[in-house]
Amino acid sequence: MTTVLFAAKPSTWEDYREALPAALDAAGISARIVQVADPHDPGAIDWIVYAPNSELQDFTPYTAVRGVLNLWAGVEQVEGNRTLTAPLCRMVDGGLTQGMVEWVTGHVLRHHLGMDAQIKGCPWSPDAPPLAAHRPIAMLGMGELGSACAAALVNLGFPVTGWSRSPKDQPGVRSVTGRDGLRQALEGADIVVLLTPHTRSTENLMNAQTLGWMRDDAVLLNPGRGALIDDDALLAALGRLGHATLDTFRVEPLPDDDPYWSHPKVTVTPHIASATRPATAAQVVAENIRRGEAGEPLLHLVDRDEALA
């Protein structure tokens, strides 16, 4: 029998109490699940289902663990933990991806159509926005989430340039890489979407220089990671840029006195762009355990050399 340690907050266990055993059973896995607060032998744990806000921070006693399966899409809070030597897998969940696609396309269309200005009391203006084909989009980050969002925008008729660490071959998306590619993407876009992971190379990706490459009145959307933006630089650039819609921040919840709350060119959403759904996330966890037990490669392995704690 496989022994699985569920290392997350008690409230998270309530979400997974039924979903995880059901998913493991459906995958044909005979498993005993223990919570991190339960008495258990660390040396007998085969798999750890993990949320980075768990009280478990020292992985040293878990000498037999075959993999740590993250419940969050982001791994920056756990990857840098040097006591963790087992393979680490990020969460890539269909429900999470769909939620991100809906948030990104919704806010792209909001800015594309100028919906913020179409409120009671604004002057009547019959000027129609350009069609999608004339509203270029830059997608910074072409992983699972960025690629899905880019595909949805292409299907709506937007020209999309995708910037990533390595070239991508995705229908309808112009692929660029490197520093020159980043500048090309930013200079050519009316709307920029941040969906890169938080790594050594993307910390403060949007800084005074790169924000300066953006077009006047361009819009920045950040449903990715708060640390991708130099906040002081963005606040300074908003005199020239059109708007910033931000879903992630360096400190969450966003403090009441943060200048983003009151800035007329900023929209704050409370980290809702994408959320893990326990029913589908449990299936992803179960599939990885099944693969590990069968000697198959694990899904969504983290590049430990590139990721940043």
* Residues labelled as active-site residues: 225, 271
H-type alpha helices, 169-242: 178-187, 208-213, 231-237
244 - beta bridge partners?
A: 220, 266
Helix axes 278-293, 19-26, angle to 10 degrees: 40
Q: Are 244 and 250 in contact (CB under 8 A)?
A: no
Residue type present at position 234: L
CB 225 within 8 A of CB 246: no
C-alpha 65/C-alpha 4 separation (Å) is 9
Q: How does strand 88-89 pair with strand 137-140? A: unpaired
Question: How many residues can be counted in the chain?
Answer: 309
Distance of CA 8 to the CA centre of its chain: 19
* 58 vs 244: CA distance, rounded Å: 38
Burial of 235-259, coded b for 16+ CB within 10 Å and e otherwise, reads bebbeebbbbbbbbbeeeebeeebe
Start-to-end CA distance of the chain, whole Å, equals 33
CA 295 → CA 75, 201, 223, 289, distances in Å? 24, 33, 35, 10
Q: Which string of DSSP letters, residue by residue, matches 169-187?
A: --TTEEEEEHHHHHHHHHH
